[in-house]
Homo-oligomer: A and B are copies of this chain.
Amino acid sequence: MPIADYYTLTLSCPDRVGIVAAISTFIAAHGGWITEASHHADPDAQRFFMRQQILVDSLPFGIESFREKFSRIATEFGMDWHIADTTRKKRVVILVSKSGHCLYDLLGRWQAKEMDIDIPCVISNHDTFRSFVEWHGIAFHHIPVTHQGKTSAYTKIVDLFEEVRGDVMVLARYMQILTHEVCVRYPGRIINIHHSFLPSFVGAKPYHQAYGRGVKLIGATCHYVTPDLDQGPIIEQDVVRVDHSDTPDALIRSGKDVEKTVLARGLRYHLEDRVLLHGNKTIIFR
């Protein structure tokens, strides 16, 4: 995570000559010091994507002035754009069920300041991790999700997320399918870790599916949640080798290590504004 303070400028627009020149001239004209810059041009879609990291101290004005001044360029090139200030910590709400490996992993990174975020609360459909979470000084909300009470449960979750001004919702092996309404409300702001190498083994019990098929590697996929189950834009994936001697329980155990690593990597890309959406795909500026 950055030690200096940066503005992170991300944008996409129709590709044409002069985009980089316009942006970099604007930044240079104000003395902006660029520490990282990444471009991508999609030849099929004729669309251009960019991420710039600019030292806050190098500019003579603040983020609001940047927004105002930059908007002229943005309008000229028809940009979808966003600027973030790394001094403002992102607020991450974690949803968890009874499986704690991703929770331990994320709180461990938070405790070590490896992830420089605020975690205003953890929400769970079980009370399992209450005291563990509270020990960290983080609020814990037990919101059971029953078949009949599903709508009211998700109303509570959305209310909480709004109340704490959450930036991103992380489903850290939450094991519940969000309602359509929640999914469409927060596009690109809900991150899930699916316990298979998508698109293989969509849906329930992917490790048992993997065992049944006899695959030689299993994986995990970090993706944005959309109303289509396990079909959202993929942020990160990885795999681990298994063999015939691995029972479904052994696959589950090996898989957990991949899940937590992949979720942490995907979440980091998101938190550092390294992920740009392009239809149902992602551009990751590492």
Contact = CB atoms under 8 A, between A and B. Distances in A.
Contacts of A199: 200-201, 213, 215
B58 A17 contact: yes
Contact of A104 (B37, B108, B214, B241): B108
Contacts of A200: 197-200
Interface string A4-37: 0000000000000110111011011101111111
Nearest to A101: B108
B40 A20 contact: no
A77 to B, nearest CB: 12
Contacts of A101: 108-109, 112, 114
B214 A197 contact: no
B36 A41 contact: yes
A171 interface: no
B239 A217 contact: yes
A120 interface: no
Contacts of A109: 101
A20 B24 contact: yes
Contacts of A131: 135
Interface in A28-63: 28-29, 31-41, 43, 58
Contacts of A25: 21, 24-25
Contact of A284 (B111, B243, B247, B249): B243
Interface of A: 3, 17-18, 20-22, 24-25, 27-29, 31-41, 43, 58, 99-101, 104-105, 107-109, 111-112, 114, 131-132, 135, 197-201, 213-217, 219, 233-239, 241, 243-245, 247, 249, 253, 256-257, 261, 264, 278, 280-284, 286
